[in-house]
Amino acid sequence: MRRGAEEILRRLEAAYPEVRGTALRWKTPLDLLVATILSAQTTDARVNEVTEALFRRYRTVEDYAEAPRGELEEAVRSLGFYRQKARFIQEACRVIVEEHGGEVPRSMEGLTKLRGVARKTANIVLQNAYGIVEGIAVDTHVMRLSKRLGLTEERYRDKIERDLMESLPREKWFMFSNLLIEHGRRVCDAKKPDCAGCVLKDLCPSAFTFPHNKR
Protein backbone atom coordinates (compact mmCIF):
# COMPACT_ATOMS: atom_id res chain seq x y z
CA MET A 1 0.00 0.00 0.00
CA ARG A 2 1.40 3.40 -0.99
CA ARG A 3 2.02 5.65 2.00
CA GLY A 4 -0.37 8.54 2.12
CA ALA A 5 -3.27 7.18 0.06
CA GLU A 6 -5.22 6.07 3.16
CA GLU A 7 -4.71 9.46 4.81
CA ILE A 8 -5.73 11.31 1.65
CA LEU A 9 -8.90 9.23 1.51
CA ARG A 10 -9.65 9.82 5.20
CA ARG A 11 -9.34 13.58 4.82
CA LEU A 12 -11.42 13.75 1.65
CA GLU A 13 -14.15 11.64 3.27
CA ALA A 14 -14.24 14.16 6.11
CA ALA A 15 -14.24 17.12 3.68
CA TYR A 16 -17.01 15.77 1.41
CA PRO A 17 -19.31 13.59 3.53
CA GLU A 18 -22.17 14.13 1.05
CA VAL A 19 -20.35 12.39 -1.82
CA ARG A 20 -21.85 8.96 -2.42
CA GLY A 21 -21.09 8.22 -6.07
CA THR A 22 -21.09 9.77 -9.49
CA ALA A 23 -22.52 13.26 -9.94
CA LEU A 24 -24.20 12.10 -13.17
CA ARG A 25 -27.98 11.76 -12.84
CA TRP A 26 -29.43 8.37 -13.78
CA LYS A 27 -32.16 5.92 -12.85
CA THR A 28 -31.28 2.81 -14.84
CA PRO A 29 -27.95 1.18 -15.82
CA LEU A 30 -28.74 2.22 -19.41
CA ASP A 31 -29.16 5.87 -18.37
CA LEU A 32 -25.81 5.72 -16.61
CA LEU A 33 -24.04 4.10 -19.54
CA VAL A 34 -25.38 6.77 -21.90
CA ALA A 35 -24.58 9.62 -19.49
CA THR A 36 -21.04 8.37 -18.99
CA ILE A 37 -20.40 8.11 -22.73
CA LEU A 38 -21.74 11.67 -23.07
CA SER A 39 -19.51 12.95 -20.27
CA ALA A 40 -16.31 12.72 -22.34
CA GLN A 41 -14.73 16.18 -22.76
CA THR A 42 -17.48 17.95 -20.81
CA THR A 43 -18.75 18.37 -17.26
CA ASP A 44 -21.23 16.19 -15.43
CA ALA A 45 -23.39 19.27 -14.84
CA ARG A 46 -23.68 19.88 -18.60
CA VAL A 47 -24.50 16.21 -19.19
CA ASN A 48 -27.22 16.32 -16.52
CA GLU A 49 -28.84 19.29 -18.28
CA VAL A 50 -29.02 17.35 -21.55
CA THR A 51 -30.01 13.95 -20.18
CA GLU A 52 -33.08 15.28 -18.38
CA ALA A 53 -34.90 15.51 -21.72
CA LEU A 54 -32.94 12.69 -23.38
CA PHE A 55 -33.98 10.08 -20.81
CA ARG A 56 -37.63 11.06 -21.17
CA ARG A 57 -37.41 10.46 -24.92
CA TYR A 58 -35.17 7.35 -24.99
CA ARG A 59 -36.08 4.79 -22.35
CA THR A 60 -34.87 1.44 -23.73
CA VAL A 61 -31.84 0.15 -25.60
CA GLU A 62 -34.13 -0.35 -28.59
CA ASP A 63 -35.09 3.34 -28.50
CA TYR A 64 -31.43 4.27 -28.97
CA ALA A 65 -30.59 1.40 -31.32
CA GLU A 66 -33.44 2.15 -33.72
CA ALA A 67 -33.46 5.96 -33.57
CA PRO A 68 -32.57 7.90 -36.72
CA ARG A 69 -28.92 8.83 -36.17
CA GLY A 70 -29.54 12.51 -36.98
CA GLU A 71 -32.26 12.72 -34.35
CA LEU A 72 -29.99 11.30 -31.67
CA GLU A 73 -27.19 13.64 -32.73
CA GLU A 74 -29.50 16.64 -32.38
CA ALA A 75 -30.53 15.53 -28.90
CA VAL A 76 -26.90 15.56 -27.66
CA ARG A 77 -25.50 18.24 -29.96
CA SER A 78 -24.82 20.84 -27.27
CA LEU A 79 -22.30 18.55 -25.53
CA GLY A 80 -19.68 18.62 -28.28
CA PHE A 81 -18.30 15.63 -30.20
CA TYR A 82 -21.99 14.88 -30.67
CA ARG A 83 -21.64 12.82 -33.85
CA GLN A 84 -19.12 10.47 -32.27
CA LYS A 85 -21.07 10.27 -29.00
CA ALA A 86 -24.35 9.51 -30.79
CA ARG A 87 -22.61 6.83 -32.85
CA PHE A 88 -21.03 5.22 -29.77
CA ILE A 89 -24.36 5.19 -27.92
CA GLN A 90 -26.22 3.72 -30.87
CA GLU A 91 -23.61 1.08 -31.68
CA ALA A 92 -23.28 0.10 -28.00
CA CYS A 93 -27.06 -0.26 -27.73
CA ARG A 94 -27.24 -2.37 -30.87
CA VAL A 95 -24.68 -4.79 -29.40
CA ILE A 96 -26.58 -4.83 -26.09
CA VAL A 97 -29.75 -5.79 -27.97
CA GLU A 98 -28.05 -8.40 -30.16
CA GLU A 99 -25.63 -9.99 -27.69
CA HIS A 100 -26.83 -9.21 -24.17
CA GLY A 101 -30.60 -9.66 -24.36
CA GLY A 102 -31.17 -5.92 -23.96
CA GLU A 103 -29.43 -5.70 -20.57
CA VAL A 104 -26.36 -3.52 -19.95
CA PRO A 105 -23.52 -6.02 -19.28
CA ARG A 106 -22.49 -6.61 -15.68
CA SER A 107 -18.84 -7.33 -16.36
CA MET A 108 -15.72 -5.36 -17.28
CA GLU A 109 -15.20 -7.63 -20.26
CA GLY A 110 -18.76 -7.24 -21.55
CA LEU A 111 -18.77 -3.46 -21.12
CA THR A 112 -15.36 -2.73 -22.61
CA LYS A 113 -16.30 -4.62 -25.77
CA LEU A 114 -18.98 -1.98 -26.46
CA ARG A 115 -18.11 0.91 -28.76
CA GLY A 116 -17.01 4.01 -26.87
CA VAL A 117 -16.63 2.19 -23.56
CA ALA A 118 -13.16 2.00 -21.99
CA ARG A 119 -12.33 1.04 -18.41
CA LYS A 120 -13.29 4.43 -16.96
CA THR A 121 -16.85 4.23 -18.25
CA ALA A 122 -17.10 0.53 -17.39
CA ASN A 123 -15.93 1.18 -13.81
CA ILE A 124 -18.48 3.97 -13.35
CA VAL A 125 -21.35 1.82 -14.64
CA LEU A 126 -20.34 -1.33 -12.75
CA GLN A 127 -19.78 0.44 -9.45
CA ASN A 128 -22.70 2.86 -9.41
CA ALA A 129 -25.36 0.77 -11.13
CA TYR A 130 -24.44 -2.76 -10.03
CA GLY A 131 -22.21 -2.34 -6.96
CA ILE A 132 -19.44 -4.32 -8.70
CA VAL A 133 -15.92 -3.04 -8.05
CA GLU A 134 -13.33 -4.22 -10.55
CA GLY A 135 -11.11 -1.14 -10.68
CA ILE A 136 -10.89 2.61 -10.18
CA ALA A 137 -12.51 5.06 -12.59
CA VAL A 138 -9.72 7.34 -13.83
CA ASP A 139 -11.14 10.50 -15.36
CA THR A 140 -9.32 13.76 -16.04
CA HIS A 141 -9.59 14.88 -12.38
CA VAL A 142 -8.30 11.56 -11.05
CA MET A 143 -5.41 11.66 -13.53
CA ARG A 144 -4.39 15.16 -12.52
CA LEU A 145 -4.77 14.74 -8.76
CA SER A 146 -3.10 11.36 -8.50
CA LYS A 147 -0.04 12.81 -10.24
CA ARG A 148 0.00 15.99 -8.16
CA LEU A 149 -0.39 13.98 -4.97
CA GLY A 150 2.51 11.69 -5.90
CA LEU A 151 0.37 8.54 -6.13
CA THR A 152 1.57 7.80 -9.66
CA GLU A 153 4.12 8.93 -12.19
CA GLU A 154 2.34 7.26 -15.08
CA ARG A 155 0.81 9.12 -18.02
CA TYR A 156 -1.76 6.63 -19.23
CA ARG A 157 -5.07 5.88 -17.58
CA ASP A 158 -4.71 2.13 -17.33
CA LYS A 159 -1.31 2.42 -15.65
CA ILE A 160 -2.53 5.16 -13.32
CA GLU A 161 -5.47 2.94 -12.41
CA ARG A 162 -3.12 0.06 -11.64
CA ASP A 163 -0.98 2.28 -9.34
CA LEU A 164 -4.07 3.53 -7.50
CA MET A 165 -5.42 0.01 -7.10
CA GLU A 166 -2.12 -0.95 -5.48
CA SER A 167 -2.38 2.06 -3.15
CA LEU A 168 -5.63 1.12 -1.46
CA PRO A 169 -7.69 -1.94 -0.54
CA ARG A 170 -10.49 -2.84 -2.96
CA GLU A 171 -13.31 -1.66 -0.69
CA LYS A 172 -11.90 1.88 -0.91
CA TRP A 173 -11.57 2.08 -4.70
CA PHE A 174 -15.06 3.35 -5.47
CA MET A 175 -15.08 6.24 -3.01
CA PHE A 176 -11.46 7.19 -3.69
CA SER A 177 -12.24 7.97 -7.30
CA ASN A 178 -15.41 9.90 -6.46
CA LEU A 179 -13.68 11.93 -3.77
CA LEU A 180 -10.70 12.82 -5.97
CA ILE A 181 -13.15 14.00 -8.63
CA GLU A 182 -14.98 16.17 -6.11
CA HIS A 183 -11.72 17.63 -4.82
CA GLY A 184 -10.58 18.30 -8.37
CA ARG A 185 -13.78 20.18 -9.11
CA ARG A 186 -13.86 22.23 -5.94
CA VAL A 187 -10.23 22.85 -4.95
CA CYS A 188 -7.51 21.28 -7.09
CA ASP A 189 -8.36 23.07 -10.31
CA ALA A 190 -6.38 22.19 -13.45
CA LYS A 191 -4.94 25.70 -13.85
CA LYS A 192 -5.33 27.40 -10.48
CA PRO A 193 -5.44 24.92 -7.60
CA ASP A 194 -6.33 26.51 -4.27
CA CYS A 195 -3.45 25.01 -2.28
CA ALA A 196 -3.94 27.45 0.60
CA GLY A 197 -7.47 26.16 1.12
CA CYS A 198 -6.67 22.49 0.53
CA VAL A 199 -7.02 19.86 3.27
CA LEU A 200 -4.16 17.91 1.67
CA LYS A 201 -1.58 20.67 1.44
CA ASP A 202 0.78 19.22 4.09
CA LEU A 203 0.76 15.84 2.28
CA CYS A 204 0.98 17.05 -1.29
CA PRO A 205 4.35 17.25 -3.05
CA SER A 206 2.87 19.72 -5.56
CA ALA A 207 1.47 22.19 -3.02
CA PHE A 208 2.33 25.82 -3.84
CA THR A 209 4.37 24.90 -6.91
CA PHE A 210 2.09 26.72 -9.36
CA PRO A 211 2.79 30.16 -10.89
CA HIS A 212 -0.17 31.82 -9.12
CA ASN A 213 0.65 30.54 -5.64
CA LYS A 214 4.38 29.82 -5.47
CA ARG A 215 5.82 30.33 -2.03
Active site residues: 120, 139
Closer CB to ligand SF4, 87 or 201, in the complex: 201
Closer CB to ligand SF4, 53 or 190, in the complex: 190
* Least distance in angstroms from the C-beta of 172 to ligand SF4: 18
Contact 204, 148 (CB under 8 A): yes
Q: Residue from 149, 151, 164, 168 that binds ligand SF4 (CB under 6 A)? A: 149
Task: Please give the residues from 182 up to 201 whose contact with ligand SF4 meets the rule CB under 6 A.
Answer: 187-188, 193-195, 198, 200-201
Single-letter amino acid, residue 164: L
From 30-38, 46-54, 79-87, 202-210, span contacting ligand SF4 (CB under 6 A) = 202-210
* Least distance in angstroms from the C-beta of 11 to ligand SF4: 10
Site membership for ligand SF4, residue 207 (CB under 6 A): yes
Alpha-carbon distances, residue 52 vs 20, 24, 25, 170 (angstroms): 21, 11, 8, 33
Task: Please give the residues from 79 up to 108 whose contact with ligand SF4 meets the rule CB under 6 A.
Answer: none
Residues 6+ away with beta carbon under 8 Å from 152: 146, 159, 160, 163, 164
* Least distance in angstroms from the C-beta of 112 to ligand SF4: 30
Site membership for ligand SF4, residue 148 (CB under 6 A): yes
d(CA 12, CA 64): 38
Single-letter amino acid, residue 66: E
The H or E element containing residue 124 is helix 119-130
* Least distance in angstroms from the C-beta of 183 to ligand SF4: 7
How many Å separate Cα 143 from the centre of its chain? 11
- Closest C-alpha among 148, 143, 131 to residue 193: 148
Binding site residues, ligand SF4, CB under 6 A = 148-149, 187-188, 193-195, 198, 200-201, 204, 206-207
